[in-house]
Structure 1
Amino acid sequence: MQQADAHGAMISPASRTYACYLDGLRPSGEIDPVNTACADAVAVSGTQALYDWYGVLRSDGAGRTRGFIPDGQLCSGGSSKYAGLDLPSGHWPVQALLAGSDYEFTYAAWVPHPGRFRIYITRQGFDPTRPLHWDDLQSEPFLTADPQPPLTDGTYRLRGSLPEGLSGRHVVYSVWERSDSTETFYNCSDVVLGDDETPPPPPPEPADCSASVTVTHSWPGGHQGSVSVTNNGTRRMTGWAVQWTMPGNTRLVEGWNGSFMATRHTAMVHAPEWNRSLDPGESATAGFTGASDEVPAFTDIRCF
C-alpha cells in the first residue's frame, strides 16, 4: 500500500483551518482562538485539528465529491477529526474579494504530487448560518487546473477569474485530487464579495514588517540560523511571527528567543512572552539550529 504523505490546504483565500490556526496560535505555542466561529470549532474538534490545518483529506476520496462527502460535512471532508469546521456561522474569518476580478489562488502543499484542482463557489443568496450542502455550490467549478501547475516554494498558484454577479458572504470550495493515489483534499475558504459599485469591506490591515532568515554557521549535516523581524509601520506590533520554507530534507532541530514550530518544509517562530511587542522601527531576533545535507537557502519568508 502506498503511504499517504501529502499535506496541503488553501492559504489564499485562507481555508477555515488555516485562518483559525493563525487566529488562535499564541506565542506560547498554544491555540486559543479569538474568533468566535474558530473557538466553537475548537470546542467541537479540539486544537489538534488546527495544528494539522493542512490535513483535511480523505485517503479514499479518489476525487469524489457529491454523493461521497455528505451534505453538511463539506468543510470537514466527512472527517470526524475536523467536524468543527462544518458548524454553520456568520462569523468565520473572511477575506474580501472583488467579484469578476482576476485572482491568484494559493495552495500550500509541502510535498509535490501530481493531480488536479477544482475550485467551486456558492450560489448567490448563500446563507452561512445554515449547514453547507452540495446544492449551495454552483454546479461546475469556476476554476480547474488539470494538470495542476508546478509546485513553487511550497505552493501551487492558480490564477483565474472570480464569477461575476455575486455579492456578500460566500464559500470558495477547493478540491485537490492526487493522481498517484486516492488521497483527496477538501477545503472551505470564507470570503465576502463586492463589485465595482459596491466594493467588499477591506480585510484586516496587515502588519507592516520585514523579516529575514539566514544561515550564520554551518557544519556537515547541520547549520545554525538567525531570524530577524522589524516593525516598519507606525503602530506597535503585538505577538509578531515569522514563517519560512525550508528546502529538501532540511528540518528544524531547536530554537531560542521565540516559540518555534515546524511541519515538513514550513517553519515558524512566534514572539516570546518577554518580547511580544515591537514599537515602530524596533527589531527582534531569534536563533535556531537545523539538520541539512547542505547549507540551505530559505524562501517564502513572511512576517505578520
Structure 2
Amino acid sequence: MAAALALCGALLVVADPAPPEAQAHGTPLFPESRTYACYRDGIDNGEGGGLNPQNPKCAAALAQYGNYAFYNWFGNLISDAGDRHREIIPDGNLCGPGDDFAGMRPGGTDWPATQVEAGQGVTFRYAAWADHPGKFMQYVTRDGWDPGQPLKWSDLEAEPFDVAYDPPTQDGPEGAEYYWDATLPDKQGRHIIYSIWERSDSPEAFYSCSDVVFGEGGGEPTPTPTPTPTDSPEPGACEVTVTPVNSWDGGYQGAVELTSQNAVDGWDLTVTLPGVGTVTQSWNSEFSQTGETVTFSDAGWNGSLPAGGSATFGYLADGVPAAASAATLNGTSCALG
C-alpha cells in the first residue's frame, strides 16, 4: 500500500504542468508604430476582421509578406536580445528585426505618420499585453537622414531623447497600456521615433518605428490649411459620419468616414465637435484645431478620392465623445451621417 501511494504521488508530481509564461507584448500607440498603424489601416478598411489596407506601404507589406505582422502588431521582438541591440540587428532591419516583420523595413515617405509638434510635452502610450518591469528608450532620427532608405543605426541620434523606467498602466482603446510624460525633440518635418523596450526580468526586447511629422513647435496648433483648388462637391454631395469607437476616463477614440460623390484631389475636412476637448492624435490624416473646430487633412497617400469614394481615419481626444454638428469638405457643406 505504501509503495502504491508513493507511486501515485510521483505520477501526480510529474503530471502537474508548469505555469505558462506570460506573453509580454507591446508597441507604441502614440505615436503609432508602423505595425499598429498598418493593422488599424487594414482592419478599418476591411470587413469581418479581414485586412484591406489603403496605405501603399502597408498594402505592399501585406501582399509580399502576409498578414502575420498585422495581426501580431504587438510582437515585433527578439526573445534573447539582452542589451545587444546594435550587435544583433543589422542596418536596414531596425523596423523589423525578425523575418516575420520584414515588410516594415522599407524606407519611404508614404508610411502612415503621426503629426506632432516640436518641443511639445506629450504622453507616450504603449500597448501592455502583460505588466513587466523594464526600460523604454525613445530615439529620433538625426537631421539630414534619408527617409527614402531603410533605417540604419547611424540615422539615429546617439542618445535617446527620452527614457522611462517601469511606467504605470491605464485602460485604453486597445486594452491596458503603459503611459508616461515626455518632451518631444526640436525637429522639423518627417522623422522616425525608434523605440526599444528592454524587459528587466528577461532578455526579451521589443522594437518599433513610429513615423512622425514634426510641426512648428511650441505646442501651438498647426494653422488651418488653405483649401486647395479642386473639384469641390456641391452642398449635400458629400457625407461625413463621426462615430465614437471607445472611451475611457478622461478621453475617447473617434472614427470618421468621409464620402464624396464627386472626384476630389486633396481634401481638408473641417468638423465642428461641440464640447470636444483637445484632439491629441490622428491617424490616416493630419489635423489642426481651433476651439471646437477640427480640420482633418489627407495624409498624402489618401488624398485622391474617385466619385463616390470614401476615406476613413481616426483620432483621439480628451474629454467625452462629441457628436458632429457641422462638416465641410474643402469649404463646401457636407451632410452628417
What TM-score bracket applies, with the shorter chain setting the length?
0.5 to 0.7
1:187 to 208, 220, 226: 208
2:59 to 27, 39, 44: 39
Contact 2:245 2:255 in 1 (8 A): no
| CA distance in structure 2 between the partners assigned to 1:118 and 1:18 by the alignment | 18
* Runs of at least 4 residues off by over 2 Å: 1-4, 196-203, 206-213, 231-236
Q: Which residue of 2 aligns with 1:54?
A: 74
Q: Secondary structure at the match of 1:144?
A: strand
Contact 1:97 1:200 in 2 (8 A): no
Q: Which residue of 2 aligns with 1:176?
A: 197
Instruction: Note the C-alpha offset of 1:234.
Output: 10
> Aligned residues, how many?
220
Q: Which residue of 2 aligns with 1:155?
A: 177
Contact 2:94 2:151 in 1 (8 A): yes
| CA distance in structure 1 between the partners assigned to 2:147 and 2:321 by the alignment | 31
1:173-252 aligned within 5 A? 173-196=194-217, 208-210=242-244
> CA, structure 1 residues 183+28, in 2 after alignment: closer, same or farther (shift >3 Å)?
same
| CA distance in structure 1 between the partners assigned to 2:321 and 2:33 by the alignment | 18
| CA distance in structure 2 between the partners assigned to 1:130 and 1:49 by the alignment | 20
5+ long unaligned stretches in structure 1 = 214-230, 237-276, 278-300
| CA distance in structure 1 between the partners assigned to 2:179 and 2:241 by the alignment | 23
TM-score by length of 1: 0.65
| CA distance in structure 2 between the partners assigned to 1:173 and 1:117 by the alignment | 10
Structure whose CA Rg is larger? 2
Instruction: Note the C-alpha offset of 1:302.
Output: 9.1
Instruction: Note the C-alpha offset of 1:130.
Output: 0.7
Q: Which residue of 2 aligns with 1:246?
A: none
Alignment RMSD, CA only? 3.4
Instruction: Note the C-alpha offset of 1:63.
Output: 3.5
TM-score by length of 2: 0.59
| CA distance in structure 2 between the partners assigned to 1:54 and 1:63 by the alignment | 20
Question: Partner letter of residue 115 of structure 1?
Answer: G
5+ long unaligned stretches in structure 2 = 1-17, 226-239, 248-253, 260-309, 311-319, 323-337
> CA, structure 1 residues 20+235, in 2 after alignment: closer, same or farther (shift >3 Å)?
closer
Instruction: Note the C-alpha offset of 1:27.
Output: 2.4
| CA distance in structure 2 between the partners assigned to 1:24 and 1:232 by the alignment | 14
Identity percentage over the alignment? 44
Instruction: Note the C-alpha offset of 1:98.
Output: 0.6
1:57-76 aligned within 5 A? 57-76=77-96
Q: Which residue of 1 aligns with 2:142?
A: 123
Spell out, residue by residue over 1:222-253, the C-alpha distance to the aligned partner (whole angstroms, 9 max, x if none).
xxxxxxxxx998967xxxxxxxxxxxxxxxxx
Instruction: Note the C-alpha offset of 1:45.
Output: 1.8
Q: Which residue of 2 aligns with 1:91?
A: 110
> CA, structure 1 residues 142+92, in 2 after alignment: closer, same or farther (shift >3 Å)?
same
Question: Partner letter of residue 178 of structure 2?
Answer: Y
> CA, structure 1 residues 234+211, in 2 after alignment: closer, same or farther (shift >3 Å)?
closer
| CA distance in structure 2 between the partners assigned to 1:235 and 1:188 by the alignment | 28
Bigger drift between 122-131 and 50-59 goes to: 122-131
Instruction: Note the C-alpha offset of 1:137.
Output: 0.4
Spell out, residue by residue over 1:33-52, the C-alpha distance to the aligned partner (whole angstroms, 9 max, x if none).
11001111112321121010
Q: Which residue of 2 aligns with 1:12?
A: 30
Q: Secondary structure at the match of 2:169?
A: coil
| CA distance in structure 1 between the partners assigned to 2:246 and 2:74 by the alignment | 25
Q: Which residue of 2 aligns with 1:82?
A: 101
